[in-house]
Amino acid sequence: AGRPAGAAPVRWLVGLALVGPLAFADPEELTVLLATARDVPFWVAVGTGAAFAVAVLLAVGYGVLLARPGAGAPRRRLAGATAAVLLAAVAVVYVVPGRPGLHGERLLVVLREQADLTGLPAGAPGRAGRDARGAEVYRRLVDTAQRTQGDLRRELTRLRLHPTPYYLVNAIETDGGPGVRAWLSGRPEVARVLVSQRLRPLPAAAPPARGDAPAPTGPVWNVSLIGADRVWTELGITGAGVVVGSSDSGVDGRHPALAAGFRGGDDSWYDPWEHRRTPGDRGGHGTHTVGSAVGRDGIGVAPDARWVGCVNLDRNLGSPAHYLDCLQFMLAPFPPGGDPFTEGRPGRAPDVLTNSWGCPPVEGCDPGALRPATAALAAAGILVVAAAGNTGPYCASVVDPPAPYPDVLTVGAVDRSRMVTDFSSRGPAAGGAAKPDLVAPGAGVLSAFPGGGYAVLDGTSMATPQVAGVVALMWSANPSLVGDLDRTRRILRDTAGPAGVPPGTDRCGGDRNLTGVGLVDAYAAVRAAMRAGDPA
């Protein structure tokens, strides 16, 4: 029109170019990844560069149209048609592949029919009976998955969506965005479809975690607080003959406090992230927790118990499928590259599992996502011990699976004074159930860290493996208790010691929702286990 356009067109062009990349980012892309990851500068540069390139292309195109001899202003119809085509292309990309999430996304398709695990034979007491039940649970789970997944797996394969089947929860992980999710949700055999996030890769490998605290010179304070050192010296019980399974960030298998305790063989380690054949740990969290359960040199509750490990966390994030990868491996370990459906070995399952993680909605879990998994493990006689979480002091904060589940032994944290910590998550859980079940030391805990060193950490993550270690001591003292989850829970409940609540703390409806039955007492629990005898 012969008038100066001013700065408004430039603002619109640059603004739209910047909004474009953000419109295709899930909220967790910004709140979780960019807020915590070491690669923030890299991805900020990538996003800024992409937005600037789009802005330049738009500006150049706009200028070319204006620069044509006698062109005058660009035609409105041409501009409108171009915008419509771009919007249509954007809509197709958005609906079919979907938003990129943390780094693309997979879908976990949970089927309506789950395996019937009722009426399992009681079997003999101890490990023989546990192994028989585990074999029967494994058979029923696999049979159900094979029978009900066939048609859907074939259809997903035909569409090149790369399905991965699971049996511990009857489910399939597959590629797909909102369009695929809507199609799957409408199928009659499908109960619901969850998002199974994938982590955006680092531009360069993060430096491995290293411990810088000095090695202990005797039993660490938390081991003494629960009386585990008295179990070793006075009762002669150190956890021999029991296997503890860890699903976490990994384990430094060469750490001097852990190397001798690794069970070994071709079915004691699984890494579904990087497929490493030998135990390792980039983050340190898993090494620390395994050390508190079975580490030697005074850091572990059951130093002669053995351990097996699986990696379900990377940069402290996971997904429903990766949590299932590890829980499934714990029910029936398999060799590297093996098929979990046909090569699982339930007779090699660990006895008790320590789980210092939770699966929140941002990772794709809903409240019932892992419920069939923990129910199956309990039916097989494998005790699942899980961290309550670190979202205290808020009431009803035990929410992320598997902590709220009734068949999981949920652990809160106390400090040196036996007082519940401010960060320890509180109950009640969904439905009004009292959680946590009991507490253990979780503030200022010294344990192993990658590279042969040690570190001091806080959290219910640190408390949880100590309870798993106490169970290992109990089952080592009385092998007839192996797989007998009811009697084990009863002994832990009856022998727990007092745990305090700081003045002015919200009781959340009762102290049971803060401290459970109290502080785990290894010495009293093992003595009671030794007197328990065989079940009637």
Element (H, E) at 487: helix 485-495
The amino acid occupying position 205 is A
How many C-beta atoms surround the C-beta of residue 148 within 10 A? Answer: 17
In this structure, the strands spanning 105-111 and 190-197 are antiparallel
Output the six-digit token pair for 338: 């093996």
Burial 432-450 (b: 16+ CB within 10 A, else e): ebbbbbbbbbbbebbbbbb
Query: Which residue in 447, 461, 476, 480 is the catalytic one?
Result: 461
Yes or no: say if 464 and 289 are a contact pair by the CB < 8 Å rule: yes
The 3-state DSSP class for residue 435 equals: coil
User: In sequence order, which residues have a C-beta less than 8 Å from that of residue 208 and are 6 or more positions away?
Assistant: 282, 450, 451
Type of residue numbered 476: S
Amino acid in position 354: T
DSSP annotation of 451 reads G
Give the Cβ contact number of residue 87 at 10 Å: 10
Q: Catalytic residue at 268? A: no
- Active-site option among 248, 297, 314, 437: 248
Cα distance between residue 197 and residue 321, in whole Å = 9
**Catalytic: which of 196, 247, 252, 285?**
285
Residue-wise DSSP of 117-161 = -TT----SSSHHHHHHHHHHHHHHHHHHHHHHHHHHHHHHHHTT-
Match 């009681």 to its residue by tokens: 122
175 catalytically annotated: no
* 3-state class (DSSP) for residue 50: helix
Distance (Å, rounded) from C-alpha 246 to C-alpha 324?
Answer: 13
248 annotated active-site: yes
Query: In whole angstroms, what separates CA 279 from the centre of its chain?
Result: 18
Using CA atoms, how far residue 298 sits from 223, 238, 258, 302, 303, in Å, is 8, 11, 12, 10, 8
Query: What are the start-end ranges of the H helices in 320-408?
Result: 320-331, 340-343, 371-379
DSSP letter for 29, please: I
CA 431: distance to chain centroid? 23
Find out whether 534 and 125 touch, Cβ atoms under 8 Å.
Answer: yes
Residue with tokens 């001097």: 256
List, as one string, the DSSP characters of 152-221: HHHHHHHTT---EEETTTTEEEEE--HHHHHHHHTSTTEEEEEEEE-PPPPSSPPPPP---BPPPSSS-H
| Residues tagged active-site | 248, 285, 461
